[in-house]
């Protein structure tokens, strides 16, 4: 069975994950140059079987038609370039995400960097969110992540400044 396609752009098919994506997920998240920017305590994926568990967790989350953590597949090669997400941010007080604030994010394999794919995938996720009824969408980026800070700028997101409000980390917040 083919995976559900969430949205498409000129160069990308954004879809649910499939089991055959496990090697690529492991290859992306085993890399410090990717994982160093993610989570409250960044760490690399150290075992291939963790990719299968991660895909299962993401696909469980993808049951909602608006929110998800999706595969970004390059249309021309059918190669997974990385991940794009549109998810509720955790509630700053209790971590439940109940305040209704939503985040767009992207994690791409280094071989997909520098070609505008993160911007294209995120722009599509933002359009998907607005079409689904969202009024605003945040991005949160570690201060040293110049590539992702530039993506926020290319997306036309308004910088809100530094915050430690989400994920227990010092981040730069953006809003569109």
Q: What is the CATH number for 130?
A: 3.40.630.30
Q: What's the domain count of the chain?
A: 1
List the pLDDT tens digit at each of the 176 positions of the chain: 789 999 999 999 999 999 999 999 999 999 999 999 998 889 999 999 999 999 999 999 898 889 999 999 999 999 999 999 999 998 766 555 446 899 999 999 999 999 999 999 999 999 999 999 999 999 999 999 999 999 999 999 999 999 998 888 899 999 99
Expressed as residue numbers, the domain containing 26 is 5-175
pLDDT at 131: 97
**The Cα angle at residue 62 between residues 61 and 66, in degrees rounded to 5:** 115
Which pLDDT does position 37 carry in this prediction? Answer: 94
Q: What is the pLDDT of residue 94?
A: 54
pLDDT at 99: 63
Between helices 22-29 and 48-61, what is the axis angle to 10°? 110
| pLDDT of 97 | 47
């Amino acid at each position: 069975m083919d995976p559900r396609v969430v949205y498409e752009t000129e160069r990308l098919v954004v879809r649910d994950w499939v089991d055959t994506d496990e090697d690529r997920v492991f290859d992306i998240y085993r890399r410090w140059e990717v994982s160093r920017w993610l989570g409250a305590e960044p760490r690399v994926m150290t075992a291939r079987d963790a990719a299968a568990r991660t895909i299962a967790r993401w696909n469980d989350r993808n049951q909602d038609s608006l929110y998800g953590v999706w595969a970004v597949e390059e249309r021309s090669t059918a190669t997974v370039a990385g991940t794009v997400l549109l998810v509720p941010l955790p509630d700053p007080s209790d971590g439940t995400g109940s305040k209704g604030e939503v985040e767009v994010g992207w994690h791409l394999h280094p071989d997909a960097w520098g070609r505008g794919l993160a911007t294209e995938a995120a722009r599509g996720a933002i359009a998907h969110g607005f079409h689904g009824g969202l009024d605003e969408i945040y991005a949160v980026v570690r201060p040293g992540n110049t590539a992702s800070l530039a993506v926020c700028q290319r997306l036309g997101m308004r910088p809100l400044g530094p915050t430690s409000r989400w994920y227990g980390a010092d981040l730069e917040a953006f809003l569109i």
